[in-house]
Each structure stands twice: as structure tokens, then as C-alpha cells.
A and B are shown apart, each in its own frame.
Chain A
Amino acid sequence: MMAQKVDVAKREAESNANRLGYMALIAGWLVPGAGHLMLKRWGRGLLVLGSITCMFVLGIMMGAKLYAPNAADLLDMLGFLGDLGSGLLYLISHAMGLGQAPVQIVTADYGAKFVVVAGLLNLISAVDAHSIAIGRKP
């Protein structure tokens, strides 16, 4: 009877950790650093928020092209997936019509890489928040 109760409590705790892990993953993807902030890792969360946001904004200011889904071009699709990693930053910028001008100067090409890499780094950070939430990382 006692063992059964312990088993149920253990399963419940695992289920809660899993739920928290997925919430941290999704929050971290949507808003850079939100996954870490949710888990009260304030320093890491603020650094991730600052770094990813600065990288994304600098990219846009450099004249980056924001990729849109284009099944006809594999490179465009890869760029789109990278951009999408920034979550709301990408969705809002795309909705505001930013990054639609053609790339004309070399720094604009760098800007496009800044935006794609910001998205990829944000995905790494979101996975890191998930790992912390489920106890895989301290």
C-alpha cells in the first residue's frame, strides 16, 4: 500500500517535471530566455534574452532579408526554419513587413546570417531550458 503511494507520487512528480519541461521549451522558443526565466535562472535568462534580441535587431538594422516559407527553394526553406527559431521576434517582424527589401549591400547579407543564427541559438537555449526543467542539467 505504502509502496503504491510512493509509486503514484513519483509518477506524478515525473509528469509535472515533463509538463514544466515542455512549457519551458515552448516559452523559450517564443520569447528568447523565457524558459530560463520561468525556471528562475534569472542571470542566464536575461543574458539569453539580451543576446538573441540584440543579434536579431542588429541583423534587421543591417538590412537582413527575412525568409518566408517557399517550398520551391530548399535554401529558402532552411533560412525560414532558422528565422522561425526566433519565435515571436520573427513572427512580429514578418507581420510588420520588416526584412522584405532585396539584399543590395554586403552587410545586409551578414544581417540575414545574424537573424538565422539568432534563431538557431534561440532553439539551443530553449532545449537547454527544457534540460534544466526535467533535471538533466543543474
Chain B
Amino acid sequence: MSLAPSHFTSVILFAIFASIIFGITQRSTPRAMVRYGAYCFVLFLVAVIAASWLMYFIRH
């Protein structure tokens, strides 16, 4: 069985899993884990969207 998600879907999947692990391993209390995981997820997405626009403007 093969899978070919779009670039953005791939980024979202990557960000979800990486953020969960970062949250669990980098903080000690459940509340702090959730907050840090959400923070990492948002950072991933913002970085990707910013990099995408940057590449768009370089190209045009």
C-alpha cells in the first residue's frame, strides 16, 4: 500500500508527531507538555508558510 500526500499534508503530519514527542520529552508536567507541544506545532507551521512565501518571492 502506498501513500502520496501533498507537501502541506506531509508537513502537517510531520509537525503533529514531532510536536507530541517534543512536548513529552522537553517538559515535566502534563499541562506544560500540552502547551509546549502546541507551541512547537504552531512554530513548525509558521516556519513552513514563511519559507514557502520566501521561495515564492525569490522565484518571482
B-binding residues in A (CB < 8 A):
43-44, 47-48, 51-52, 54-55, 58, 61-63, 105-107, 110, 113-114, 117-118, 121, 124-125, 127-128, 137-138
Residue contact A62 to B17, C-beta cutoff 8 Å:
no
Please measure, in the bound complex, the distance between the C-alpha atom of A8 and the C-alpha atom of B55, giving whole angstroms.
64
Please measure, in the bound complex, the distance between the C-alpha atom of A54 and the C-alpha atom of B10, giving whole angstroms.
13
Residue contact B24 to A125, C-beta cutoff 8 Å:
yes
Residues of B within 8 A of A55 (CB): 13-14, 17
Given A107-B10, A114-B14, A125 contacting B3 (CB threshold 8 A): no
Residue contact A54 to B4, C-beta cutoff 8 Å:
no
A contacts with B: majority SS? helix
Residue contact B28 to A62, C-beta cutoff 8 Å:
no
Q: Which 4 A-B pairs have the closest CB atoms?
A: A61-B3, A128-B25, A121-B21, A51-B17
Residue contact A58 to B21, C-beta cutoff 8 Å:
no
Closest chain B residue, CB of each to CB of A57: B3
- Shortest beta-carbon distance, A100 to chain B, in Å? 14
Given A58-B13, A114-B14, A125-B25, A47 contacting B5 (CB threshold 8 A): no
B contacts with A: majority SS? helix
Please measure, in the bound complex, the distance between the C-alpha atom of A22 and the C-alpha atom of B50, giving whole angstroms.
42
Q: What 0/1 readout, one digit per residue, does chain B (1-28) give for beta carbons within 8 Å of chain A?
A: 1111101001001101110110011001
Given contacts A118-B17, A125-B24, A125-B25, 11 further A-B contacts (CB under 8 A): A47-B20, A47-B24, A48-B21, A51-B21, A52-B17, A52-B21, A58-B3, A61-B2, A61-B3, A107-B3, A113-B14
Closest chain B residue, CB of each to CB of A132: B28
Please measure, in the bound complex, the distance between the C-alpha atom of A44 and the C-alpha atom of B30, giving whole angstroms.
9
Residue contact A62 to B18, C-beta cutoff 8 Å:
no
Name the contact of A121 in the complex, choosing from B10, B18, B28 (C-beta under 8 A): B18
Some 13 contacts from A to B, beta carbons below 8 A apart, are A47-B24, A51-B17, A58-B3, A61-B1, A63-B2, A105-B4, A107-B10, A110-B10, A110-B14, A121-B21, A124-B21, A124-B25, A125-B25
